[in-house]
Amino acid sequence: MPENTGIGRPMKNKIKVFRAMHDMTQEDLAQTIGVTRQTILAIEKGKYVPSLDLAFRIARHFNVNIEEVFTYDEEVRFVEVD
């Protein structure tokens, strides 16, 4: 088992990169998958971890596997208590 090397949020995502590749705004993506722009912004900034359902919808929208959009860094200790 790897050691905890850092404190932060272990879930990272590349939504911003994929949006840029598809030339989409946050509003466009939000409308397409049926959430608010604030939710996309919160996910991109790591403030909110989406459900599996939403994560799959985002990945399917960009025609990629979920692991390509979302990555889990096991070496980062999750600190959120709530």
Kindly tell me which of 35 and 76 has the beta carbon lying closer to other proteins: 35
Q: How far apart are CA 13 and CA 67, in angstroms?
A: 9
Kindly tell me which of 22 and 45 has the beta carbon lying closer to other proteins: 45
* Rounded (10°) CA dihedral 79, 41, 18, 68: 20
Size of the site for other proteins (CB under 8 A): 18
Q: What is the DSSP string of 58-72?
A: HHHHTTS-HHHHEEE
- Identify residue 27 by its one-letter amino acid code: E
Per CB under 8 A, 44 contacts other proteins: yes
Per CB under 8 A, 26 contacts other proteins: yes
Residue 3 backbone phi and psi in degrees, to 5: -75, 155
Kindly tell me which of 5 and 60 has the beta carbon lying closer to other proteins: 60
Residue ranges in contact with other proteins by CB under 8 A: 25-26, 34-36, 38-39, 41-42, 44-45, 47-48, 50-51, 53-54, 82
